[in-house]
Amino acid sequence: MTTTRIKGAAARSHVSTHIRDALRGGHLVPGQRLVVQDLADELGVTRSSVREALVDLASDELVEIVRNRGARVRMISIEEAIQITECRSALERVCARRAAAHASEAQRAELAEVGVQLRAAVAENSPETYSTLNRRLHDLIIDFSGQAVAKRQLERLHTQMVRFQFRLALRPGRPQQSLPQLLAIIDAVVAGDADAAEAATEAQLAGVIDELRATGAAYSVESVR
């Protein structure tokens, strides 16, 4: 019996979305091979559709195509992670300002509820939940800003950073340290204070950069030992 496979642009988009979602969810790890035949069988598409999708993902620097060895999830260094976070900061500050100015009352209430859930996650010592809520908060502010260009760029940057974000969230004491920073962003946006929202976003992501630098220093010390 022959199985009909999806072809064309729909198949290409299906493969790309599947891999992006897997990266965002942490189900694919840096360096992991992406086997064309396996993906084609799993997703019910043609091999050519998988290859085309991998080229698209490579152009977004999410996948690396190695000649004669196929494709794999691209690895990024701590230094690159820092630079990505610096770019995120510039874009997210714009979004925070716009969200503070333009969010509806319902949207502000939704952000306030995320704050309640963040506090609960810290109180219950649930770093995985905290990490998920942290990402949700940033996503909501980006959505509520209505800044479509920034949103497209940030989706790509966030996907590259999933591994580092999850590791930072699991670091002992990190949620307790970053919680006040996230709550400051929420309070500013809910209050409609664009200046405070921008400043709080900058401070929170500066804290992420500090943590990444500390991680890099720790790795350097380990390599010397």
Mean pLDDT of 136-157: 94
CATH number for the domain spanning 64: value is 1.10.10.10
Please indicate, yes or no, if residue 1 is contained in any of the structural domains.
no
Q: Which residues pair with 63 in a beta bridge?
A: 73
Where residue 46 falls (left for φ over 0; alpha for ψ -120 to 50; beta otherwise) is: beta
State the DSSP H helix or E strand holding residue 107, giving kind and residue range, or none if neither: helix 105-123
Tell me the residue ranges of DSSP E strands in 101-223.
Answer: none
Q: Hunting for tokens 């979004």 — which residue is that?
A: 95
Please indicate, yes or no, if residue 97 is contained in any of the structural domains.
yes
CA-based torsion, 142, 14, 157, 160: positive or negative: positive
- The tokens for 151 are 């949103």
Check: CB of residue 78 under 8 Å from CB of residue 216: yes
Given 30, 47, 73, the domain boundary residue is 73
State whether 143 and 99 are in the same domain.
yes
State whether 148 and 208 are in the same domain.
yes
pTM for the predicted model, two decimal places: 0.76
- Report the greatest alpha carbon distance in the chain: 63
The model's pLDDT over 182-193, given as tens digits with 9 standing for 90+, comes to: 999 999 999 999
Given 47, 73, 99, the domain boundary residue is 73
State whether 110 and 218 are in the same domain.
yes
User: How many domains does one find in the chain?
Assistant: 2
Please indicate, yes or no, if residue 3 is contained in any of the structural domains.
no
Residue 140 belongs to domain spanning: 78-224
Q: What is the pLDDT of residue 217?
A: 55
Per-chain mean pLDDT for the chain: 87
Euclidean distance between CA atoms 94 and 80, whole angstroms: 22
Q: Which residues pair with 73 in a beta bridge?
A: 63
State whether 83 and 48 are in the same domain.
no
CATH number for the domain spanning 153: value is 1.20.120.530
Euclidean distance between CA atoms 138 and 158, whole angstroms: 10
Given 26, 48, 73, the domain boundary residue is 73
The model's pLDDT over 31-89, given as tens digits with 9 standing for 90+, comes to: 889 999 999 999 999 999 999 999 999 988 888 998 878 899 888 888 988 999 999 99
Burial 53-82 (b: 16+ CB within 10 A, else e): bbebbeeeebbbeeeeeebbbbebebebbb
Q: What is the pLDDT of residue 100?
A: 98
Lowest-confidence pick of 67-71, 102-106, 189-193, 202-206: 67-71
Q: What is the pLDDT of residue 3?
A: 60
The CA-based dihedral angle spanning residues 9, 10, 15, 17, taken in that order and rounded to the nearest 10 degrees: 110
Residues 6+ apart with CB under 8 A from 43: 6, 11, 14, 15, 18, 50
State whether 53 and 26 are in the same domain.
yes
State whether 61 and 83 are in the same domain.
no
Q: What distances in angstroms separate CA 201 from CA 6, 42, 108, 213, one per listed residue?
A: 43, 40, 16, 19
Please indicate, yes or no, if residue 2 is contained in any of the structural domains.
no
State whether 25 and 84 are in the same domain.
no
At residue 163 the predicted structure's pLDDT band, cuts being 50, 70 and 90, is low
State whether 104 and 68 are in the same domain.
no
Neighbours of 128 (CB within 10 A): 11
State whether 98 and 203 are in the same domain.
yes
Mean pLDDT of 201-209: 95
State whether 108 and 195 are in the same domain.
yes
Q: What is the pLDDT of residue 222?
A: 33
State whether 64 and 84 are in the same domain.
no
State whether 126 and 27 are in the same domain.
no
